[in-house]
């Protein structure tokens, strides 16, 4: 295949999804020269993101979700596997022109709105620079007007005024909107948003989640929404992927996964969410919420040490994603067996919910 810039070849390979990860793997070397070890941050991950779709990537810290974001943004290159953008492998984008075009199609929004804007420049700086770099079709004189249009679209009042302020003059919610404005200036296809609301107060979070849904509906932008807050994922996402210890353990339409979780980790995650509307129910919890071991992992399910359902097979064979309901996959030997789809002996005294 020729190395054409993605933006030039409209639509890319016909019928290909917007983004597809195949066998995506990223390892890091840790430890000194003598005790050299390998940390498996992301291991053999497969997923797709379609047009006009918000996909939530949910998991605890250390699950590898931010590494996936950085692989998508080309901050890291994969150890193995590849990401296909409109059917073309990212490893083929070598020239500055190709990478620039890809980055303008897939920008990132960061977690901390207090650290991600340069305090020495006015708010307009980042947006105007983005326009200069990624939108050569807009003449210099019209960039300012375009920046005002973008900012207004993000629900910031008195757009002209906001652009001339410094970041310290804005509230957290306003700053994060500016973060989205910078991304939106590139006319992106997919925005990778890494915990975009976790630093914000509850009362302003919802405004940003609504904004993300609006971008999808009105601008046709897809979003990868990375979060540890599965309740907010339900609110905004079309599909959800649950990551644990570098593996995707469950994926499916958001309501299906939340109402009928197949993987025991997803069930644990859902049970841990505090819900003020639910009646008082405080049971003793034996799970300490310890992070998984991903340094030089051995074969087998990585959740087995915390899993109430683990059987002998789980410590020998790494489970793979199996479709257990329409478009709803889980990587769990027990859930697969309970659905009558595998040959693993399941203890008779345990039941898998939703199976």
Partner 1 sequence: MASALVPDAPVLEVRGLTVEYETAAGPVRAVDGFDLDVLPGEFVGVVGESGCGKSTMLFGIAQLLSPPARISAGSVSFRGRDLVTMTAKELSATRWRDLSVVMQSAMNALNPVTQLGKQFEDTMRAHGERSGEAIQQRSVEVLQLVGIDPVHLKSYPHQLSGGMRQRAMIAMALLFTPDLVIMDEPTSALDVVAQRSLMVQIKELQQRLGFAVVFVTHDMSLVSHFSDRLVVMYAAQAVEIGPTRAVFDNPGHPYTRGLLDAFPSIRGPRVPLTGIPGSPPNLLNPPVGCRFAPRCPHRFELCDAPPPLYEAPGSLAACHLHAPAVAEVSR
Q: Which chain residues interact with partner 1 by CB under 8 A?
A: 60-61, 171-173, 201-207, 209-210, 228-232, 234-235, 255, 258, 268-278, 280-285, 287-291
User: Based on CB atoms, which residue is closest to partner 1, 236 or 337?
Assistant: 236
User: Based on CB atoms, which residue is closest to partner 1, 1 or 202?
Assistant: 202
User: Based on CB atoms, which residue is closest to partner 1, 125 or 293?
Assistant: 293
Closest distance of CB 30 from partner 1, Å: 13
Beta pairing, strands 247-253 & 239-244: antiparallel
| Number of neighbours of residue 315 by Cβ within 10 angstroms | 13
Closest distance of CB 24 from partner 1, Å: 23
| Tokens (6 digits) for 202 | 């509850």
Interhelix angle 123-134/96-105, rounded to 10 degrees, is: 130
Closest distance of CB 210 from partner 1, Å: 8
Closest distance of CB 116 from partner 1, Å: 17
User: Based on CB atoms, which residue is closest to partner 1, 92 or 207?
Assistant: 207
| Tokens (6 digits) for 63 | 């699950």
320 CB-side CA count, 13 A: 5
Determine the Cα–Cα distance for residues 181 and 205; give it in Å rounded to an integer: 16
Measured CA distances, 172 to 112, 201, 204, 331 (Å): 9, 8, 9, 38
Beta bridge partners of 155: none
User: Based on CB atoms, which residue is closest to partner 1, 163 or 268?
Assistant: 268
Closest distance of CB 143 from partner 1, Å: 29
User: Based on CB atoms, which residue is closest to partner 1, 200 or 321?
Assistant: 200
Closest distance of CB 259 from partner 1, Å: 9
Nearest to 347 by CA among 315, 311, 319: 311
């Amino acid at each position: 295949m020729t190395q054409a810039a993605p933006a030039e070849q409209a639509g890319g390979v016909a019928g290909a999804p917007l983004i597809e990860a195949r066998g995506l793997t990223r390892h890091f070397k840790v430890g000194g020269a003598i005790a050299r070890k390998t940390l498996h941050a992301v291991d053999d991950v497969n997923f797709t993101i379609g047009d006009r779709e918000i996909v939530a990537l949910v998991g605890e810290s250390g699950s590898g979700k931010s590494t996936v974001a950085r692989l998508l943004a080309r901050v890291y290159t994969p150890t193995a596997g590849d990401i296909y953008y409109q059917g073309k492998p990212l490893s083929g984008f070598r020239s500055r022109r190709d990478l620039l075009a890809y980055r303008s199609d897939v920008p990132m929004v960061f977690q901390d709105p207090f650290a991600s804007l340069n305090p020495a420049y006015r708010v307009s700086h980042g947006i105007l620079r983005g326009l200069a770099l990624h939108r050569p079709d807009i003449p210099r004189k019209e960039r300012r007007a375009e920046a005002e249009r973008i900012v207004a679209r993000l629900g910031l009042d008195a757009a002209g005024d906001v652009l001339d302020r410094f970041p310290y003059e804005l509230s957290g919610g306003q700053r994060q909107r500016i973060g989205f404005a910078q991304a939106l200036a590139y006319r992106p296809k997919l925005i990778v948003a890494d915990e975009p609301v976790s630093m914000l107060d509850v009362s302003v979070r919802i405004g940003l989640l609504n904004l993300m849904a609006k971008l999808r509906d009105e601008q046709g932008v897809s979003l990868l929404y990375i979060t540890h807050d599965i309740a907010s994922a339900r609110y905004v996402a079309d599909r959800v992927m649950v990551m644990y210890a570098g593996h995707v353990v469950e994926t499916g339409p958001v309501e299906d996964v939340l109402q009928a979780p197949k993987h025991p980790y997803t069930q644990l995650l859902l049970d841990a969410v505090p819900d003020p509307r639910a009646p008082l129910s405080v049971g003793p919890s034996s799970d300490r919420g310890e992070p998984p071991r991903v340094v030089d992992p051995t074969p087998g399910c990585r959740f087995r040490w915390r899993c109430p359902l683990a059987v002998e097979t789980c410590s020998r064979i790494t489970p793979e994603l199996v479709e257990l309901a329409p478009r709803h996959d889980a990587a769990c030997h027990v859930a697969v067996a309970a659905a009558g789809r595998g040959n693993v002996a399941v203890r008779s005294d345990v039941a898998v919910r939703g199976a």
